[in-house]
Amino acid sequence: MKRRLTAAIAMTMFLAACGSVAPGSTAQKVPLAGTPNGVAVRDSDGAVFVTDDRTSGIVMTSHIGDEDAPAFSSYARIPTLEGERTGLSQIAFAPNGHLLVERFGFGSASAVFDVAPSGQVALASDAHAARRRLGLVVIDGGTFLSSWFAKEGSAPPAGGVSVITRGAVPGQVTERDIVTGLGKPVGLATVGDTLYISDQAANRIYKVDLQAARAANAPVPASDVFATVDAPDLMAASPDGTLYTKCGAHAVCSFSTRGRPTVIADDLDAPRGVAVDVARKRLVAVDRSGTPDKPSSLRVLPIR
């Protein structure tokens, strides 16, 4: 009943005002081949980068949505292990212009990779390869946050958030858990010193004081519920504190700083990653196709 109520409130708000959509602008649907998942936008020029689970690659395009925009092209190929399934999760920019991307790993081969502007790929971390990695937030050029979960047999998933630090020597990496008590943490986003975590197993978004969690002697439990939402996924945040993520089977929602949901699109096939393009006031959302005869797409949604 609680989930239905949340969905009903969100839909009512959407039909009444659609308050997070910028006036005088329209949404766009851009076809995209493959099996997309994570997405990131380069601030300088609005170029869009998307992970493709089918090929374990990253594709990109410039000026998405423009009539003369170039088609998607291959940007980098992320290494796979022989005999392992392919799958990539979140993708995010580091301050030096490099991309960091997570390999999900399916319980045996998770890792984080660094992709230079030239497309050259280097291993950033292969610690705890049995953890299934999903969310990613870059703190600085050498430090990033990863959400993960582990699953054994028919037992429910159990996960957390860790901070990964790359050492001065190549291959020297440390990983330390800072948040525990989660089921299937998927999306991560930060606004100031607040870390937001979407837990798909609990249908909740939690908030955590990031600095306090990093300074604590032991991992802190996720207990402060920011919002209740059905099946959240990867997340993004705008500088004003608005969060964006999947909400329900076919919708993407924004969440105000008080956790109030607003549906901004409700006709997607299977929403996945989202990225905020601050300069151009738009949200780019991955819509993964559920049928072989229908291509996936990127939804470009205007926001305030």
What are the distances in angstroms from CA 162 to CA 60, 131, 177, 266, 283? 28, 11, 4, 32, 27
Task: Look up tokens 């001065």; give the residue.
Answer: 168
CA 31/CA 157 separation, integer angstroms: 33
Contact 135, 188 (CB under 8 A): yes
Contact 110, 84 (CB under 8 A): no
pLDDT for the residue numbered 138 = 97
Tell me which residues of the chain have a pLDDT lower than 50.
Answer: 1-24
pLDDT for the residue numbered 8 = 42
What are the distances in angstroms from CA 28 to CA 33, 81, 139, 156, 270? 16, 36, 31, 38, 16
CA 170/CA 158 separation, integer angstroms: 30
Per-residue pLDDT of 102-135, as tens digits, reads: 999 999 999 999 999 999 999 999 999 999 999 9
What are the distances in angstroms from CA 280 to CA 25, 137, 231, 303? 11, 21, 28, 9
pTM listed for this prediction: 0.90
pLDDT for the residue numbered 66 = 72
